Amino acid sequence: MSKPKPKVAFFEFTDCEGCQLQVANLGAGLLELANVVDIVNFREIMSEAGQEYDVLVVEGSVASKHDEERLKKIASKAKVIVALGACATLGGVNNLKNLKSLEEQKKAVYGSIDPVPDAIETKAINEVVNVDYYVHGCPIYGPEFLKVMECVLLGKPYSVPQYPVCVECKQNENVCVYEKGQFCLGPVTKAGCNSWLPNYGSVCVGCRGLIDNPASDAQKDILQKYGLTVEGILDKFTLYCNGKKERAKYGKEPKK
């Protein structure tokens, strides 16, 4: 008798579901994955909704007490949890809400109405439940997702690169966007996306989060050549990450 396939379920929270769409668009890669797992819940590609699963893939950040309770309930059924995309791994664009108090944000968006009374500061998935694997990016880089899922199925760890996107840019022989007078977060952002945006002439916007020690491991030649500092770059790290939180993490301001 053949061994049953692991059951995989995709769930979403506060997000645009763009990372799941990237998975749905994997084509042959998704078909190959479906040969070795049973996808039991994935709103982008199927109407069925199985409630028993081994691997939980979560997209989106946690933005309310209801989200927290729902995530804990869903996670309790899984053996392995994968955080999918910047919202799940870092808090993502939704982290912009944390730059001001909840009261200020609600007043700016809703005025005197409060349709989300249980709203909380945006949280990444690992701030609520334990996460086993991370697939960074906004949206995710499809080949990396498949590599992570291979590690999940083999029971092997997946190490997110701790060198900057600049390394991949150089490997791909891209002209540095700083040479074009543009600002880029590549010197301090985790690689793993194959320098996706710079390959097409755009800039890195930091959607994969900071490398573990940007103060000592950032792309120093880029920083020195263009008169940049890690602190200056961190000031720009607010679109996908809570820049204030990141600065505290690396000792740039006191932790709360």
Entry pTM = 0.89
Residues 6+ apart with CB under 8 A from 188: 164, 206, 210, 211, 214, 218, 219, 230, 233, 234, 237
pLDDT digits 0-9 by tens, 196-243: 999 998 999 999 998 887 776 677 788 888 888 877 777 777 788 765
Least confident of 4-8, 23-27, 54-58, 100-104: 100-104
Residues 6+ apart with CB under 8 A from 131: 81, 82, 83, 125
Average pLDDT over residues 48-64: 94
In a 3-state reduction of DSSP, which class is residue 94? helix
Residues 6+ apart with CB under 8 A from 206: 185, 188, 189, 236, 237, 239, 240, 241
pLDDT at 76: 97
When comparing pLDDT for 31 and 224, which is higher?
31
Amino acid at 90: L
By 3-state DSSP, what share of the chain in percent is helix, strand and coil, each rounded to 5?
40, 15, 45
pLDDT digits 0-9 by tens, 9-19: 999 999 999 99
Greatest CA separation for the chain: 64
pLDDT at 256: 31
Tell me how far apart the alpha carbons of residues 38 and 6 are, in angstroms, rounded to a whole number. 6
Residue 120: name the closest of 59, 71, 58 by CA.
71
pLDDT greater than 50 at residue 137: yes
Q: Express as a percent the part of the chain with pLDDT over 90.
A: 63
pLDDT at 48: 81
pLDDT at 172: 97
pLDDT at 62: 96
pLDDT digits 0-9 by tens, 182-199: 999 999 899 999 999 999
Tell me how far apart the alpha carbons of residues 79 and 85 are, in angstroms, rounded to a whole number. 20
pLDDT greater than 90 at residue 82: yes
Average pLDDT over residues 40-50: 89
